[in-house]
Structure 1
Amino acid sequence: MNTPDIASVLAGYGTCVVAASGGVDSLLLAVLAHRALGAEAVIAHAASPAVPAGDTARLYETARMEGFAVRQVDAGEMRDPRYLENPVDRCYHCKTGLYRALSALARETGAGVVASGTNLDDLSDYRPGLVAAKDFGVRHPFVEAGLAKADIRAMARALGLFFADVPASPCLGSRIHTGTPITRERLAAVAFAEDALRERLGLDLVRCRIHGDTARIEVDPSLLASDAGRRGEIEAAVAELGRQFREHFPDIATIGLDPRGYARGRAFHTTP
C-alpha cells in the first residue's frame, strides 16, 4: 500500500471524472487524481438534500487547499419516484441518476473514465449502488489498487490530509427506515437533529433515524453505559430537540433517545 500504486492506476486512465461525495474515500481519490492528472481529472459533486452539508463544505475546503475546481451535477434523485419510495434497492436508483449525470459530464469534458471511491471493504457489503456503477462502466481505482478502508485512512494520514479521521458520513437518506418515503422534510429533520447535537454536545457519532412519524437518536453506546451525567445531558438535548421538532417538523410526532445506542444500518430492512 503506497501512493505510487494508486497513482499508477489513475495515470493509466489518462482522463477521468471523479465522483466526490465529501467522505474520506472520495476526498482522497479527488486529491490523488488531481495530483496525478491535473486538469485531466474533473472533480464532480452532486449537491442534494440527502448530502450532509458538512460533506459538501469539506469537499470545497479540500478543493481550495489542493487547487482544483468542483463541478456540481444534479443526480435528480429527488425527482425519481423509485428513489423516494425508499425501497430495499434505494441506492441503485440514487446511483443510477448520479452516474448518468457523471457520464454526461465525461462526454462533455472528453474524460475517458468515471471513477468512484469504492474500496475493497465495500465489495463485501450489500451495495446496490455497485450494480448501477457496473451498468455505467464506472471504475473503482482503490479496488484496482487493492486498497481497503484502513489503507485509505492510513494514506490520508501519511499525506497529512485534514480529513483522514473524519467519521463515516453516509447520505441522509440512509437514516430513513426502508419503506418510509423519503421527503425533503424528513431529510431536513435528520440534518437538523444531527447538526444540533454535534454542536451542543460535541458528539462525533450521532444518527437520527426516522421510521414513519417517529425519530430516534442514536449515539455511541459507551456514552449511555458508562457516564450517567453525560447520558442525562444527552437526554436533555434530545428533549429540547423534541420541542424544536414540534415547531419545525410537525410530521414527526415523537423523538427520543434510542437506549441501545448506535448500530450501523439499523434503518435498513430487507423486508420493509
Structure 2
Amino acid sequence: MTLQEKKEILTSYIKEMGSLAVAFSSGVDSTFLLKTAHEVLGDKVIAVTARSCSFPERELKEAIAFCKEEGIRHFIVDSEELDIEGFESNPKNRCYLCKHELFEKIAVIAKEQGIKEIAEGSNLDDNGDYRPGLVAVAELNIKSPLRYAGLTKEEIRALSKELELKTWDKQSFACLSSRFVYGETISREKLSMVDKAEQRLLDMGFQQVRVRIHGTIARIEVLPNQLERLVSVREEIAGYFHELGFTYVTMDLDGYRTGSMNATLKDSE
C-alpha cells in the first residue's frame, strides 16, 4: 500500500467520525493527527492536553502555541498521575492507570463540547512493544486513526514534512515516568531531575535523548552517531547531573531505543 493510499484511508476514517477530540501531546504523532483531523473536520475538532509533573513544560507550551497558530480549540486538563492510587510504585501496568484516567477526563470534555469520538496518536510501530496504555484505549473505545491507517513513525514524519509541520523531525517523546525502572518509586523530585537532565542535553544539541533513572544512577541514551560527542562533553554533563542529585552518570553504549526499560520485564519472565 502506498503512503498516499494510507493517507486517504486516514482522512476517510476521520471524516466518518463527524467530530473528534484528539489527545494532544505536541509530539510527532499527535500533532500530525490533530493537523489532519482539523483539515478534515474543521471546528468539529478539539485538542485536549494533559498537564502533570511527568509532562515537561516545554511540551505544554508547544501544544498551546500550535493550537493557537492553527486556530484549534484547545483544552488543558489536570491529570496528575501521582494522585492515582498505586501509580507512584511504578507497576508494570503504570501506563494503563494513567491512560485510563486521562481518557475518562477527555470523555467528560468531549461530552460537554458535543464531540462524538476521542482519538489518540499511537502508530503501527507501537504494536510491536509492551504498551499497557493500549489496553485502556481498547476498553474505553478510543480511536487510533494512525494505527487504523497502518502508518509507521517514519511515514508520519514524511507526511508531516509534506505539511511543513515543525514536528516532522522532532525527537520522539514519552512521558517522563517511562524513564523509571519498573518497581522504582516515582516522585516529583526525581521527575524534575530527569526533566532538567534531558533538557540540558537537548539544549546542547543532542537530537534524541533519554535519561533513564536507576536509583541515583543516570543512564544516558543518545543516538549511536552522537555517542562520541557525548564522551567529548562528559565533564560538563557529569557536573550538571551531579548538581541535580545523580550520584553516578553513565552512558548506554546501545544508544537510544524506545522501550528500553521493558527489557527488565523480559528478564523477570
Normalization by structure 2: what TM-score? 0.90
For the pair 1:87 / 2:91, whether they are aligned, the reply is yes
Identity rate of aligned residues, in percent? 34
Structure 2 residue 125 is the aligned partner of structure 1 residue 121 = yes
Deviation at 1:147, TM superposition (A): 1.8
Structure 1 residues 178, 59: closer, same or farther in 2, change over 3 A?
Answer: same
How many angstroms apart in 1 are the aligned matches of 2:128 and 2:161? 25
> How do 1:75-114 and structure 2 match up within 5 A?
75-114=79-118
Alignment partners' CA distance in 2, 1:28 and 1:242? 34
Report the 3-state secondary structure (helix = DSSP H, G, I; strand = E; otherwise coil) of the residue aligned with 1:179.
Answer: coil
Rate the CA distance shift 1:120–1:218 in 2: closer, same or farther, 3 A: closer
Alignment of 1:1-272 (within 5 A): 1-2=3-4, 3-199=7-203, 201-224=204-227, 227=228, 230-245=229-244, 249=245, 252=246, 254-264=247-257, 265-268=259-262, 269-270=264-265, 271=268
Gaps of 5+ in 2: none
Alpha-carbon distance change, 223 to 29 in structure 1, aligned in 2, over 3 angstroms: closer
Deviation at 1:232, TM superposition (A): 4.4
TM-score by length of 1: 0.89
8 A Cα contact 1:208 1:218, kept in partner: yes
Whether the aligned pair in 2 keeps the contact of 1:46 and 1:73 (CA below 8 Å) is yes
2:197–2:241 contact (8 Å) kept in structure 1: no
Q: Any stretches of 5+ residues in structure 1 without a counterpart?
A: none
CA shift at 1:205, angstroms? Answer: 2.2
Equivalent residues of 1:238, 1:255 under 8 A apart: no
Bigger mean CA offset, 88-97 vs 145-154: 145-154
Q: 2: distance between equivalents of 1:130 and 1:59?
A: 22
- What secondary structure does 1:73 align onto? strand
Give me the whole-angstrom Cα distance separating, in 2, the residues matched to 1:242 and 1:151.
Answer: 35
Aligned pair count reads: 261
What do the CA deviations read for 1:115-149 (whole angstroms, capped 9, x no partner)? 11111221222100000011111011112222222
